[in-house]
Amino acid sequence: MADIYTHKDLARLCGVSETTIKSYRRKFPGFIPVLTKGKPIRFRAEAGDVCLKIRDCFAKGMSVGETRKVLKENFKEELSARRSGSRKAPAASAASAEGFSQEYLEKFFETTGQMMHGMAGLATAQARAEQRLRKVESALKRLLEAEAANREILAALLEERSGEVSAESFSPQPEPEHKVRARKIVNVHGPEGGVESYALEEEEPRPVPHAPPPDEFLNTPIVIRNDRGEFLGVPGRLPLAGFLEILVREAEEGGSSLSNWSRLDDAWVYTIDSPGRETHALHFIATTTPRGNQVALLDRLDVNGRRTSPGFLQEFFRQVKDKAQ
C-alpha cells in the first residue's frame, strides 16, 4: 500500500467516487489524517485503512454513530482534526460534496419527500378504487344473476299459462234476457153461439242469411263465458276461424255437411247441418274483455232449433278446445 494518498487514490482503493471519500472526511475528520494541505491534499498511509473500514460499515447498513464507534475501536482519532472539521462544518454545509448548495439539496429532499407522500396517497387511492370496482363488479354480477333467474321464472310462467285456459275476471254481468213469446187470447163466436178461444204467439226472430263475416272478426280469439262471469279462451289464442275449422272437420268425418252464415241482431250465426244428424247453430258476438282485448264470444248454441243450457254450451266448448291442443 502507498505511503500517501490523494482523494483520487483513496477513491480508487475503495472502489468509490472522490465525492464519497470527501463525505467520509466530513463525517469522520479525526480518523483520516492529512499529511499536506496543499493541492492536491495528501493523506497518510493509515487513511486508506480507515476509508476501507468506513466503506465496509456503510455497506452493512450501519449508521454514522455506529461506524464512529467501530473506528474508535480500531484507529486513533486526532481531536485537533475533529475540532477543525467541526469549525469548518458550517462552511461545508453550504455546499454538498457534488457542488450543489445546501439550499438546493434541502429543496431536493423536500420535493422528494412530497413526491413519496404523493405516491403513497396515489397507491392508497388506487387500492380504494380497486376495492370499489370489485364491489361494483360483485353487484353487477348479482344483478345479472337475478335478471337471468327472472327470465327463467317468466318463461316458466308463460309455458304454464300456455297450457292452461286463460281466464279474465270481470264484474259478473247478468245473463241476456230470453225473449218471451207474446201470447194473445182471441175469442171467436160461432153462428150457433159457441165460443172458441185461440192463443196467438209471436214467433222468435229467425237468423237472416248473410255473407261470411270479415277476416278481422274471423281472426279474433274465440272465448266463452263461465258461470263466474270470466272469459275463458283456448291456449295459444285460437282464432274463430280455427275453431270453426275443427267443427267442420269433425262434421265431415261423420259424413257430408252444409254450413252457412247468417245474422241475428248483433250476432253472427254459423250453422252446421249434417243430414241425418244434429244441426248446430253457433251464435258469436264481437266484444271486448276488461283488459281491452277484442274477442269473439260464443254466446249461444242451438241444437236442432232449440237453445241449449249454459252448462251444455261450456261442455261443448271444452270438447272442441281439447281437440285444438
Q: What is the pLDDT of residue 100?
A: 58
Q: Quick one: cell of 257?
A: 255437411
Which carries the bigger pLDDT value, residue 101 or residue 12? 12
- C-beta neighbour count of 108 within 10 angstroms: 12
**Is 96's pLDDT higher than 80?**
no
Least confident of 8-22, 55-69, 75-89, 288-302: 75-89
Euclidean distance between the first and final Cα of the chain, in Å? 112
Q: How far apart are CA 67 and CA 54, in angstroms?
A: 7
Dump pLDDT digits (tens) for 142-160.
Answer: 989 989 998 998 888 777 7
DSSP category for residue 181: P
Q: What confidence tier does 181 reach under pLDDT thresholds 50, 70, 90?
A: low
- Per-residue pLDDT at 252: 79
At 70 the pLDDT is 95
pLDDT at 155: 84
Sign of the torsion angle spanned by Cα atoms 120, 123, 129, 131: negative
CA within 13 Å, CB half, 301:
19
| DSSP H or E segment with residue 163 | none
Task: State how far the alpha carbon of 265 is from the alpha carbons of 204, 206, 294, in Å.
Answer: 12, 10, 19
The whole-number pLDDT of residue 214 equals: 95
Specify the fold of 4-99: Multidrug-efflux Transporter Regulator; Chain: A; Domain 2 (1.10.1660)
Range(s) within the chain of domains with CATH label 1.10.1660.10: 4-99
- Local structure of 295: helix, strand or coil: strand
- Grid coordinates in use for 150? 327472472
